[in-house]
Structure 1
Amino acid sequence: MPAAAAPLADAFIDAPESASDAVFFGILHGLERRVFVPGQRLVEADLAARFDVGRNSVREALQRLAAEGVVEILRHKGAAIRALTVKETMDVLEVAERMTGLLARSAARGVAAGRGPQALARALQQLRSADSAQDPDAFARARRSFWRALLELAANRELRRLFPSIHMPIVYAQHPIAALQKLRLRDYEAIGQAVAQGREDVADARGMEHVRHVRREIQRQLAS
């Protein structure tokens, strides 16, 4: 990977540093807003025009996304957003449950050690405002701020490296459920409160419960 390429660990940023980053993060963030959906073919010329970059930057970004398991590059067919089977979706959620609990626990430990939760409080306020305004783009940006604040409070390099690699953007794009935004906001409030109070066990439990709630809604959708 070229030195200028930002890792997936920076998936919660909003300001790409290079042309390749613009495509890389643009596709990841586009999954959140269903601009891109699982199974969708990614045409180099279209991506170059959308992000106003050269074809080489598009190819570099697609290779990086393929390495992270977000994109599949098929011989003679080009690239496509990866689609998850039901089992793969449940596998992602199983990993996400443990990892989200660990992140919340680590963030609460950071607060107990003296790190200020101001950025977390700001992110929660942004989430409330975006929800009230029914602004999905603002909500997506606030979500990134929320997870970034937790990662900064945790100050754990391994979590920062591994947490964004969980394929939750694909799960959410593949299972667009109207109830999920309200569910997310309620769960984020619960996680944020426990973290801000430095309550490690409670934060861990709230983090895992959030993913269980998401799993329950997806299972309901699949059953119907």
Structure 2
Amino acid sequence: MEAGLEFEPAGTARKVVLGILAGLDERQLVPGQRLAETDLALRYDVGRNAVREAMQHLSVRGIIELEANRSPSIRKLDLAESMEVLDVAEAMTALAARTAAGRYVERLHAKLLRDVLQRLDMAAADREEGAFNAARRQFYRVLLRIGDNRELRRLFPSVGMHIIHVQYSMPELQKVRRRDYADMAAAVMKKDAALAEAVARRHVDNVRGAIADWHARRSDGHMGAR
């Protein structure tokens, strides 16, 4: 089983969780959208209890917001919330990269890293955003698998980065991720824990800067329209 997936719910609730994640990757679902329980049950051919279990799980992961007497909605972040998510993500990503570098074994892990980097390059070349997002998640699963820290594997999906990636789907960020993931993988394969951590922190800082610039452009555009 892939690292991190063992913490997904079992049975039909898992079907809903994976379906919603795929829907976000493919832009069939968007931040701020409300999700009616009946519609989800019909879409995924499951009972309402499975939908409720899936919503609870996705809420813990920071993907869904639950509100009393209202349908759950896909989380939408403002700039301050985005920066808070990235602050936590920086620490977690740095730990994941550092741990992977410390436990890397070439005969066990080299192919895993090379394969996922190739998958990222192919998805980018084909301009398949959904495939790229799936490969991005797989990259982190590989790091978590190499690092083999069960507590980190349990906590990592709850950081809320999935919504960051969905909400800020800028072409320049995909280029940043391809470059930084390759650098991170190279540091892990060198077994250089300090370098791996530094590259991971730099990557999150690059994402942080791109998101801040995006919000600044939107703010300038709104001011100019007045």
Query: Please, what TM-score do these two structures have when normalized by structure 1?
Result: 0.87
Q: Which residue of 1 aligns with 2:122?
A: 129
Deviations 1:170-222 (A, max 9, x none): 12222232211111111111111111111111111111111111111100000
Greater Cα offset, 204-213 or 26-35: 26-35
Q: Aligned to 2:66, what secondary structure does the other structure show?
A: strand
Identify the structure with the greater helix proportion: 2
Counterpart for residue 205 of structure 2:
212
Corresponding residue for residue 10 of structure 1: 5
The alpha-carbon deviation at position 114 of structure 1 amounts to 7.3
Distance, in Å, in 2 between the alignment partners of 1:99 and 1:57 is: 30
How far apart are residue 126 of structure 1 and its match? Answer: 0.9
Count of equivalent residues: 215
Secondary structure, in 3 states, of the residue corresponding to 2:72? Answer: strand
What letter is aligned with 1:126? Answer: R
Take 1:102 and 1:66, find their aligned partners in 2: how far apart are those partners?
24
- In structure 2, the residue matched to 1:108 is 101
What residue number does 1:46 align with?
A: 39
The match for 1:69 among 58, 62, 66 is 62
Please report how far the alpha carbon of residue 11 of structure 1 lies from its aligned counterpart in structure 2 after TM superposition: 8.1
The 4+ residue runs of structure 1 with deviation greater than 6 A are none
Q: CA RMSD in A?
A: 2.3
Equivalent residue for 1:174?
167
Percent identity of equivalent pairs: 44
Structure 2 Cα separation of the partners of residues 151 and 68 of structure 1: 17
Is the Cα contact below 8 Å between 1:11 and 1:25 reproduced in 2?
no
- In the other structure, the counterpart of 1:88 is 81
Gaps of 5+ in 2: 218-226
Q: Distance in 1 between matches of 2:171 and 2:53?
A: 34
Q: After superposition, give the CA deviation of every residue in 1:50-102 in whole Å (9 maximum; x if it has no partner).
A: 22222221122112222443222222222111222321111110111121111
**Cα distance in 2, alignment partners of residues 217 and 30 from structure 1:** 24
Q: State whether structure 2 residue 72 is matched by structure 1 residue 79.
A: yes
Q: Contact 1:95–1:166 (CA<8 Å) still a contact in 2?
A: yes
**Equivalence map 1:49-60=2 (5 Å):** 49-60=42-53
In 2, distance between residues paired with 1:76 and 1:49?
Answer: 21
Q: Which moved more, 1:27-36 or 1:103-112?
A: 27-36
C-alpha distance in structure 2 between counterparts of 1:181 and 1:30, whole Å: 19
TM-score, normalising length: structure 2: 0.86
